[in-house]
Amino acid sequence: MSEGMTVPEPLPPVPAPPAKPVWGAWATIGFGAVILTVFFLIEFFVVMAFVILKIASGQAFNPSQILDLFNANLGLIVSLATVIGGAAGIGLTVVFIKIRSGAAIAEYLRLKSVSWKWVLVGLAATLGLIVLTNGLGIVFKSPQDSFTTDIYRTAV
């Protein structure tokens, strides 16, 4: 080679595409809407099951008694509804992924391991947000009687 000429560096390798393409934007929005709808329906059915069980056990006969029992068990009801609805949402997500590609869940969702540095950064950010929201609650004197407070008070 002549003087002054340099050899260009090779280009980095192009990552291989997934086995099958992922869903498009509209399909993703549609399946997300299905999952969200199922989540809310399951939460509704958990609340209704609680009311029916209380009526069947003879603990509640009129609407005010049902409302009193509901308020006394609000934390339990919200917890059950959220856990059962969340499990159904995760299950539907897995089903939709398997229908589309048959690929491994981690591969389809492109999940990667996270370094300890990013775990610590995430924990510090979370702690910072907790301190910030509690501080703002103190400064602006947030009311102590709220829906969230009732959930914590009645959790089991």
The per-residue pLDDT string of the chain (156 residues; one tens digit each, 9 = 90 and over) reads 556 677 777 777 777 665 566 678 888 899 999 999 999 999 999 988 988 888 788 776 778 888 888 888 889 999 999 999 999 999 998 898 888 776 788 887 888 888 999 999 999 999 999 999 989 888 888 677 778 888 888 888
CB-count exposure of residue 23 (10 Å: 0-12, 13-18, 19+): middle
CA atoms within 13 A on the CB side of 133: 5
CB-count exposure of residue 92 (10 Å: 0-12, 13-18, 19+): middle
The verdict on pTM exceeding 0.85 is: no
Q: Which helix (H) or strand (E) holds 149?
A: helix 147-153
Are 109 and 97 contacting, i.e. CB atoms less than 8 angstroms apart? yes
Q: Name residue 6's amino acid.
A: T
Q: Name residue 23's amino acid.
A: W
| DSSP 8-state assignment for residue 141 | T
Are 51 and 70 contacting, i.e. CB atoms less than 8 angstroms apart? yes
What is the pLDDT, as a whole number, of residue 122?
96
Instruction: State the CB neighbour count (10 A cutoff) for residue 108.
Output: 21
What is the pLDDT, as a whole number, of residue 61?
72
